[in-house]
Amino acid sequence: AGLKLYPFECRQGGKSYKADMTATISYQVEGGAISELSISMGQIPIMVKSSHCHLKGLSASELVSRHEEPSEQGGYFIMNGAERVMRLLILPRRNHIVAIIRKSFSNRGPLFTP
Protein backbone atom coordinates (compact mmCIF):
# COMPACT_ATOMS: atom_id res chain seq x y z
CA ALA A 1 0.00 0.00 0.00
CA GLY A 2 1.15 3.50 -0.80
CA LEU A 3 0.52 6.77 0.98
CA LYS A 4 -2.74 7.13 2.86
CA LEU A 5 -5.32 9.47 1.34
CA TYR A 6 -7.43 11.38 3.87
CA PRO A 7 -10.90 12.92 3.41
CA PHE A 8 -9.56 16.50 3.66
CA GLU A 9 -7.25 15.90 0.69
CA CYS A 10 -10.19 14.60 -1.36
CA ARG A 11 -12.31 17.64 -0.50
CA GLN A 12 -9.50 20.03 -1.43
CA GLY A 13 -8.46 18.19 -4.58
CA GLY A 14 -11.94 17.44 -5.93
CA LYS A 15 -11.33 13.70 -5.64
CA SER A 16 -13.49 10.82 -4.45
CA TYR A 17 -12.63 9.08 -1.17
CA LYS A 18 -12.67 5.47 -2.34
CA ALA A 19 -10.76 2.21 -2.22
CA ASP A 20 -10.19 -0.84 -4.39
CA MET A 21 -12.69 -3.64 -3.86
CA THR A 22 -11.60 -7.22 -4.47
CA ALA A 23 -13.51 -10.48 -4.30
CA THR A 24 -11.89 -13.77 -3.36
CA ILE A 25 -13.55 -16.77 -4.95
CA SER A 26 -12.87 -20.27 -3.63
CA TYR A 27 -13.71 -23.22 -5.85
CA GLN A 28 -13.21 -26.96 -6.01
CA VAL A 29 -13.47 -29.09 -9.15
CA GLU A 30 -14.73 -32.69 -8.73
CA GLY A 31 -13.35 -33.18 -5.21
CA GLY A 32 -9.89 -31.84 -6.11
CA ALA A 33 -7.88 -29.22 -4.30
CA ILE A 34 -9.59 -26.01 -3.24
CA SER A 35 -8.36 -23.09 -5.31
CA GLU A 36 -8.74 -19.38 -4.65
CA LEU A 37 -8.92 -16.56 -7.14
CA SER A 38 -8.86 -12.84 -6.31
CA ILE A 39 -10.67 -10.54 -8.73
CA SER A 40 -10.64 -6.75 -8.77
CA MET A 41 -14.20 -5.42 -8.66
CA GLY A 42 -13.25 -1.79 -9.26
CA GLN A 43 -13.43 0.98 -6.69
CA ILE A 44 -16.08 1.72 -4.07
CA PRO A 45 -16.61 4.88 -1.99
CA ILE A 46 -15.56 4.75 1.67
CA MET A 47 -17.90 6.18 4.29
CA VAL A 48 -16.08 8.77 6.41
CA LYS A 49 -15.31 7.43 9.94
CA SER A 50 -16.32 3.87 8.96
CA SER A 51 -14.15 0.84 9.77
CA HIS A 52 -12.25 1.26 6.47
CA CYS A 53 -11.68 5.02 6.85
CA HIS A 54 -8.19 6.25 7.74
CA LEU A 55 -9.74 8.55 10.38
CA LYS A 56 -11.16 5.63 12.39
CA GLY A 57 -9.71 5.50 15.90
CA LEU A 58 -7.72 8.74 15.72
CA SER A 59 -7.58 11.02 18.76
CA ALA A 60 -8.99 14.56 18.69
CA SER A 61 -5.51 16.07 18.25
CA GLU A 62 -4.71 13.67 15.40
CA LEU A 63 -7.98 14.58 13.68
CA VAL A 64 -7.18 18.30 13.96
CA SER A 65 -3.71 17.69 12.51
CA ARG A 66 -5.42 16.07 9.49
CA HIS A 67 -7.77 19.08 9.09
CA GLU A 68 -10.85 17.27 10.42
CA GLU A 69 -13.38 18.36 13.03
CA PRO A 70 -12.96 16.24 16.21
CA SER A 71 -16.70 16.29 16.97
CA GLU A 72 -17.66 15.21 13.43
CA GLN A 73 -19.70 11.98 13.41
CA GLY A 74 -18.96 10.92 9.83
CA GLY A 75 -21.45 8.72 7.98
CA TYR A 76 -21.16 10.46 4.60
CA PHE A 77 -19.21 9.93 1.38
CA ILE A 78 -16.92 12.28 -0.54
CA MET A 79 -17.50 12.20 -4.30
CA ASN A 80 -15.54 14.53 -6.58
CA GLY A 81 -14.67 16.72 -3.57
CA ALA A 82 -18.28 17.12 -2.37
CA GLU A 83 -19.79 15.51 0.72
CA ARG A 84 -22.74 13.26 -0.14
CA VAL A 85 -25.29 11.60 2.14
CA MET A 86 -27.41 8.58 1.24
CA ARG A 87 -30.98 8.79 2.50
CA LEU A 88 -33.47 5.97 2.66
CA LEU A 89 -37.05 7.13 2.43
CA ILE A 90 -39.45 4.46 3.58
CA LEU A 91 -42.64 6.53 3.88
CA PRO A 92 -43.87 9.40 1.72
CA ARG A 93 -43.32 12.85 3.14
CA ARG A 94 -46.07 14.27 5.30
CA ASN A 95 -47.80 17.43 4.10
CA HIS A 96 -46.19 17.14 0.68
CA ILE A 97 -48.25 17.74 -2.46
CA VAL A 98 -48.52 14.62 -4.62
CA ALA A 99 -51.12 15.90 -7.10
CA ILE A 100 -51.33 19.33 -8.70
CA ILE A 101 -54.38 20.77 -10.46
CA ARG A 102 -53.84 23.78 -12.71
CA LYS A 103 -56.17 25.48 -15.17
CA SER A 104 -53.55 25.14 -17.88
CA PHE A 105 -53.80 21.34 -17.59
CA SER A 106 -57.47 21.39 -18.68
CA ASN A 107 -56.43 23.00 -21.97
CA ARG A 108 -54.41 19.90 -22.81
CA GLY A 109 -57.37 17.54 -22.85
CA PRO A 110 -59.16 15.22 -20.41
CA LEU A 111 -56.52 12.47 -20.63
CA PHE A 112 -53.54 14.70 -19.79
CA THR A 113 -51.63 13.85 -16.62
CA PRO A 114 -48.71 15.97 -15.41
pLDDT tens digits for 1-10? 568 899 999 9
Alpha-carbon distance of 20 to 37, in angstroms, equals: 16
pLDDT tens digits for 52-107? 999 999 999 999 999 999 998 899 999 999 999 988 766 766 776 667 777 787 78
CA 38 to chain centroid, in Å, comes to: 24
pLDDT tens digits for 41-52? 999 999 999 999
Residue 39 has what pLDDT?
95
Q: List CB contacts of 23: < 8 A, sequence separation 6 or more.
A: 38, 39, 41
Domain-by-domain residue ranges, the chain?
A: 7-86
Alpha-carbon distance of 29 to 50, in angstroms, equals: 38
Plot region of 36 (φ>0 → left; ψ -120 to 50 → alpha; else → beta): beta
Q: Are strands 82-84 and 77-79 parallel, antiparallel or unpaired?
A: antiparallel
